[in-house]
């Protein structure tokens, strides 16, 4: 789901998301100022992480449509009012052709949703990444605490030709058996809400917002902790991860949305963390271009709760100068660079009706 924390629950997120769902389902979404972006693909279900493959197609993780299966009484549940979750196998991975045509790569993957008291927010496939020609997917909607007892949160390897998959690492087990220093007890998700991952020198690195950590996962399935962010930063809800010599991670932070409270941290390979840039809101995506400029995707700016039309992308130059590249995005959840040098963004990534999700193409200015 859209990563949350207890302050988010206590401060009226349900009302904001109810408004978001109504607006998303009834309002046309205009192009950004000066034609900054256009719809590249549509028909998606809660689109999340996305990545171009070596074949030139765009692969998109989708949260899915949740489900009604419950594991209450079987295992520890997510605390109320976030939980208990229910779920089913409704998530998928889509392939988008250069012409914007969607086809299904793999389906029948875990998708779960929060309790109706929180608006039934959905988790499913959180991100995708390639190592060579092999596609890996990060599962965030699985696990017994999310209503799906027989498919844990995990990293899987996907056969893109046949739509089958193999589990590489069980992240539910990792979360259950490797506690962090400062978990948020009022919003604790036993098996985590994994959000994004990146590949570095043949290994995968994933970030978990609810517990607040980054882990390394080898293609052989070994999991180890890079950093417990909660130990030094407390409950800041880290979400977005990229790598350029060091790891750079942005955070959502808690709700209601505070002006400029989200940050970008630099984490070196040995796990030392320092603040790299600040003054952002609700960060859900980060990506470097070929000139070492960092692009930061903000889900909502300028209002206290998530709101369609309030998302934007900011570019941070190596000098520290910030420039708004695109605004007017509606509940964006992830972004990646395409082979054409432009950014591709998952839009209407939560709270929208089935099939309403989009991928936008954002034209990146040349200067």
pLDDT digits (tens, 9 = 90+) for 138-159: 999 999 999 999 999 999 999 9
According to DSSP, the residues that pair with 39 across neighbouring strands are: 360
pLDDT of residue 162: 96
More confident residue, 30 or 184: 184
Contacts for 335 with CB less than 8 Å, ≥ 6 apart: 50, 285, 287, 295, 297, 313, 343, 344, 345, 346, 362
CB of 205 within 8 A of CB of 198?
Answer: yes
Residue 345 has pLDDT above 80, yes or no: yes
pLDDT of residue 25: 38
The overall average pLDDT reported for the chain is 91
Query: What architecture is domain 6-362?
Result: 6 Propeller (2.120)
How do residues 290-321 score in pLDDT, each as one tens digit? 999 999 999 999 999 999 999 999 999 999 99
CB 97 within 8 Å of CB 327: no
Quick: pLDDT tens for 206-241. Answer: 999 999 999 999 999 999 999 999 999 999 999 999
How confident is residue 22, by pLDDT bands cut at 50, 70 and 90?
Answer: very low
Q: Which residue from 72, 71, 155, 76 is spatially nearest to 109, judged by alpha carbons? A: 155
For residue 367, the model assigns a pLDDT of: 78
Domains of the chain, by residue range, sit at: 6-362
Note the pLDDT of residue 119: 85
């Amino acid at each position: 789901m859209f990563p949350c924390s207890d302050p988010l629950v206590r401060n009226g997120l349900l009302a904001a998301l109810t408004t978001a769902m109504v607006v998303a389902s009834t309002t046309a979404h205009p192009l950004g100022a000066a034609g900054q972006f256009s719809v590249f693909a549509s028909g998606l279900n809660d689109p999340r992480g996305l990545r171009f493959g070596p074949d030139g197609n765009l692969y998109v993780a989708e949260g899915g449509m949740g489900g009604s299966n419950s594991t209450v009484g079987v295992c520890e549940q997510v605390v109320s009012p976030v939980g208990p979750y229910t779920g089913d196998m409704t998530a998928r991975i889509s392939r988008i052709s250069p012409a914007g045509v969607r086809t299904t790569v793999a389906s029948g993957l875990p998708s779960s949703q929060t309790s109706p008291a929180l608006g039934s927010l959905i988790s499913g496939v959180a991100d995708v990444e390639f190592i060579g020609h092999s596609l890996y997917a990060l599962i965030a909607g699985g696990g017994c605490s999310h209503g799906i007892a027989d498919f844990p949160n995990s990293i899987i390897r996907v056969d893109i030709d046949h739509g089958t998959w193999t589990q590489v690492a069980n992240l539910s087990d990792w979360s259950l058996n490797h506690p962090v220093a400062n978990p948020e007890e009022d919003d604790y998700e036993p098996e985590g809400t994994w959000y994004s991952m990146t590949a570095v020198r043949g290994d995968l690195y994933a970030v978990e917002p609810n517990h607040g950590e980054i882990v390394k996962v080898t293609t052989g399935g070994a999991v180890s902790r890079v950093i417990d962010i909660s130990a030094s930063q407390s409950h800041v809800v880290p979400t977005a991860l990229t790598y350029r010599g060091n790891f750079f991670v942005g955070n959502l932070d808690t709700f209601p949305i505070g002006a400029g409270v989200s940050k970008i941290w630099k984490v070196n390979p040995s796990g030392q963390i320092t603040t790299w840039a600040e003054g952002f809101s609700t960060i859900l995506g980060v990506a470097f271009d070929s000139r070492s400029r960092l692009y930061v995707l903000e889900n909502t700016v300028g209002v206290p709760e998530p709101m369609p039309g309030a998302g934007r992308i900011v570019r941070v130059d190596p000098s520290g100068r910030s420039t708004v590249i695109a605004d007017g995005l509606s509940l964006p959840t992830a972004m990646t660079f395409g082979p054409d040098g432009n950014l591709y963004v998952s839009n209407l990534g939560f709270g929208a009706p089935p099939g309403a999700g989009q991928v936008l193409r954002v034209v990146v200015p040349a200067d």
